[in-house]
Chains A and B, each alone.
Chain A
């Protein structure tokens, strides 16, 4: 097709889904890049900046020079679309649950979740409260970290645990092959966490 600039620019039209599928077959099949995918994913787990509660302070300390979680290849990043890990820091209130779910939906797969703190496991000091949501009700959680708040070492340990899980169970490469991770049901919230917002 001639471009209307007159200098012969070209536009290629094709079926993107088909080409993507073919590229996937090539990479995962003939080139056997699965292992590399797992390895690369494990060492580039970028958590998104989404601070739901007070555990966020320890999250900050984890990436401070003293504990330096960046040595594990994890770098907190601002945009949800450039990250592949969500670290839920403590309590998730009913209103915040919407933000967590929306952020999770925006992240490109393969993506992983770590729940940090007693609150994220089963409510913690806010057990039996009228305004909290358990994170495992809204997104699929891979690793839980107990503590109130957990020490930065524990957070680093959780990242290493997640890396081990990805490489041992080959989660990332299978996820790409099959479209969804093999070891996990898709978590769909029972009630819409954003109903208060949509009105």
Chain B
């Protein structure tokens, strides 16, 4: 299956939903409104995209928004297994809340937890939204946001480490 064909399948599945296409070299993302995300995801699932490979967030600090992208692909449909399609939404940085897709794709459960602790994005109706990897003190700094700045340590120590 060529990429154009895959694209057509996705476009067909999303017909009736307003979307924007973000395209770059080698990737394609369909960005829908927050309210339509669950609907769009379930339609993609019906079209054959049966799991999410990864979930990623881009912090556009200047434009004051987060872009959340789910990368969906297929195990069972051999043609679709060769492509990965991005489906996502954008939320303002001041109110980072998105509906969860756990009930559409079970494989996003832990990835949403990870995004929650690194970016502080809340997934509404998530069954188990706890911290996954980080200690609470670290997680509350939301370390992968652009406005989290790590304090620079000097490369050369003036004092040898004790102990």
A-B contact count (CB 8 A): 39
| Chain A residue with the shortest CB-CB distance to B153 | A128
* A7 within 8 Å of B (CB atoms): no
The reply to whether B135 and A130 form a contact with Cβ atoms under 8 Å apart is no
Count of B residues near A, CB < 8 Å?
A: 18
* A127 within 8 Å of B (CB atoms): yes
Per-position 1/0 for B141-155, Cβ under 8 A of A: 101000010111101
Given A130-B143, A136-B162, verify A196-B137 contact (CB < 8 Å): yes
| Chain B residue with the shortest CB-CB distance to A184 | B163
- Residue among B133, B138, B141, B152 with the highest chain A CB neighbour number at 10 A: B138
Inter-chain CA distance A150–B150, complex, in Å, is: 28
Per-position 1/0 for A7-40, Cβ under 8 A of B: 0000000000000000000000000000000000
Given A128-B150, A130-B143, verify A136-B134 contact (CB < 8 Å): no
Per-position 1/0 for A112-143, Cβ under 8 A of B: 00000000001000011111001011011100
The reply to whether B135 and A94 form a contact with Cβ atoms under 8 Å apart is yes
Inter-chain CA distance A95–B134, complex, in Å, is: 7
* A195 within 8 Å of B (CB atoms): yes
Which residues 106-163 of B have a CB within 8 angstroms of A? 133-138, 141, 143, 148, 150-153, 155, 157, 161-163
Interface size class of A (residues with CB under 8 A): 10 to 19
Q: Please, which residues of chain B bring their CB within 8 A of the CB of A178?
A: none
The reply to whether B141 and A130 form a contact with Cβ atoms under 8 Å apart is yes
| Chain A residue with the shortest CB-CB distance to B133 | A95
| Chain B residue with the shortest CB-CB distance to A129 | B150
Min CB–CB distance B161 → chain A (angstroms): 5
Given A95-B135, A196-B135, A196-B136, verify A130-B163 contact (CB < 8 Å): no
Inter-chain CA distance A141–B135, complex, in Å, is: 24
| Chain B residue with the shortest CB-CB distance to A113 | B163
* A→B interface (CB under 8 Å): 94-95, 122, 127-131, 134, 136-137, 139-141, 185, 187, 195-196
* B→A interface (CB under 8 Å): 133-138, 141, 143, 148, 150-153, 155, 157, 161-163
6 additional A-B pairs beyond A94-B138, A134-B161, beta carbons within 8 Å, are A94-B137, A122-B157, A122-B161, A129-B150, A137-B163, A185-B163
